[in-house]
Amino acid sequence: MSVLARDVAQEFGNRFGRLPKVSRAPGRVNLIGEHTDYNDGFVMPAALEFATLGAAAPRPDRRLVVYSMIMDETREFDLDAPSARGRQEWSDYVFGVAVMLERSGRRLTGADLVIWTDVPLGSGLSSSAALEVSVAHALLTASGLRFEPVEVAKICQQAENDFVGMRCGIMDQYVSACGVAGHALLIDCRSLESRNVPIASNLRLLIANSHVRHQHAGGEYNARREACEEGVRILRPYLGPIKALRDVAARALERHRRVLPELVYRRCRHIVTENERVLEAERALKAGDFAACGKAMNESQVSMRDDFEITCPEIDLLASLAQAQAGVYGSRMTGGGFGGCTVTLIEAGAVQGVTRALIDGYRVGAGRDADVFVCSPSNGAGIDPLEGD
Ligand code: GLA
């Protein structure tokens, strides 16, 4: 039994006077493969133990009534009179998912919902995907419909693209729906197939939250995506029928470097080399070659900093502090960028010392506090059983 699920169910009981089922969907940390997902490439995230819980029970009508324990706000939505676009607030993630589930041909019943999360918000750990996937799971369960993980991930991505207005890729929703405890997932974002990559028992993933949040991150994200698309458009006449940067090899990019504007070239170089690094990191982790995995992570950090330009001084500081410590294999920013968190691959025995070094070094170098914690790769979305279930 999860204490948290019981608390959320209790809140639901107080508000709506009946017993809900509690759906749970995790946030994620990405070990390597940043901005490659919307280029049809490879990523290697793991689901976190931090998650969003959605307690829900059906209503006899077609209304959705949702209370957020985090915002302490209630919002309502009529499934028979859906709006096409969001109101630019948290409920967009909830109702966007409902709209897209219905558009996919799934007929939902009305439902009462209570949502809660312990995924740190706005920290690059995918609180939005956790919300979307938990709501999808809760609404499908209330409607007596099946939760098909990859299909639901696609629907949640569509909600974020078309209802919320953020042109994200599939990585976050995919791993929130499909994560496997003790493993990272190597996801092929073109075929949408994945392979489990075990995290060896002597390894830990250390996450450090810089607490930097950039206001313009949404616009910068979409701008990176446009630069990648521009690269494909310019390269196509030279390389044949390529669909995405996934189809461009590093050598081919170098050969045609001069046809690209310098900035577009560097954006493309990040994606093309990052795809190679993801596959190398998968190989290395499976072979027990942790140093090679760490090297790929460190190179990814440089590529994000210099070519894709999505890090910031605070993140660069956290990564280099970690890279200098004994017992650390590699360290890099994780997630969309412009702040958020780093992920560090580390020997279990080094956790305490590195945590101290990061907290102290960040206080001295950035003048602020970092949160540092170990992440245990967890399962993707499911029902969080209540006592007696
Ligand atoms: C955000 C997006 C993902 C992915 C990452 C960067 O988390 O939601 O789809 O593009 O940024 O790797």
- Kindly state if the Cβ of 34 falls inside 6 Å of ligand 1: yes
Is 40's pLDDT higher than 80?
yes
How far does residue 10's CA lie from ligand 1's centre (Å)?
34
How far does residue 35's CA lie from ligand 1's centre (Å)?
6
Which of 80, 122, 118, 71 shows the shortest CA–CA distance to 98? 80
pLDDT of residue 2: 74
Answer whether 0.85 is exceeded by the pTM: yes
- Kindly state if the Cβ of 336 falls inside 6 Å of ligand 1: yes
pLDDT of residue 100: 98
pLDDT per position as a tens digit, 329-382 = 999 999 999 999 999 999 999 999 999 999 999 999 999 999 999 999 999 999
Q: Confidence class of residue 217 from pLDDT cuts 50, 70 and 90?
A: low
pLDDT of residue 1: 44
* Residues annotated as part of the active site: 172
- Kindly state if the Cβ of 28 falls inside 6 Å of ligand 1: no
Query: Which residue, by CA, sits nearest to atom 2 of ligand 1?
Result: 168
Sign of the CA dihedral with 358 first, then 362, 363, and 365 last? positive
In percent, the amount of the chain with pLDDT more than 70 equals 97
Q: Return the higher-pLDDT residue of 86 and 250.
A: 250
Is 113's pLDDT higher than 70?
yes
Shortest-distance atom of ligand 1 to CA 169: 9
Q: Where do the H-state alpha helices sit in the chain?
A: 3-16, 91-103, 127-142, 149-158, 171-178, 217-239, 250-255, 262-287, 290-306, 313-323, 351-366
The angle formed by the CA atoms of residues 24, 50 and 309, to the nearest 5 degrees, is 120
Q: What is the mean pLDDT of the chain?
A: 96
Is 81's pLDDT higher than 90?
yes
How far does residue 169's CA lie from ligand 1's centre (Å)?
6
* Token code pair at residue 123: 């920290």
Q: Residue 332 forms beta bridges with which residues?
A: 343
How far does residue 78's CA lie from ligand 1's centre (Å)?
30
Shortest-distance atom of ligand 1 to CA 221: 11
How far does residue 46's CA lie from ligand 1's centre (Å)?
13
Instruction: Please check whether residue 75 is in contact with residue 308, taking contact to mean a CB–CB distance below 8 angstroms.
Output: no
* Token code pair at residue 334: 């994780």
Rounded to 5 degrees, φ, ψ at 41 are -100, -150
Q: Confidence class of residue 387 from pLDDT cuts 50, 70 and 90?
A: low
* Residue position matching structure tokens 């003790």: 182
pLDDT of residue 388: 52
Name, in order, each residue with C-beta under 8 angstroms of 360's C-beta and a sequence gap of 6 or more: none
- Kindly state if the Cβ of 333 falls inside 6 Å of ligand 1: no
* Token code pair at residue 331: 């360290």
Instruction: Please check whether residue 304 is in contact with residue 332, taking contact to mean a CB–CB distance below 8 angstroms.
Output: yes
Query: Which residue, by CA, sits nearest to atom 10 of ligand 1?
Result: 35
Please report, in angstroms and rounded to a whole number, the separation of the first and last CA atoms in the chain: 9
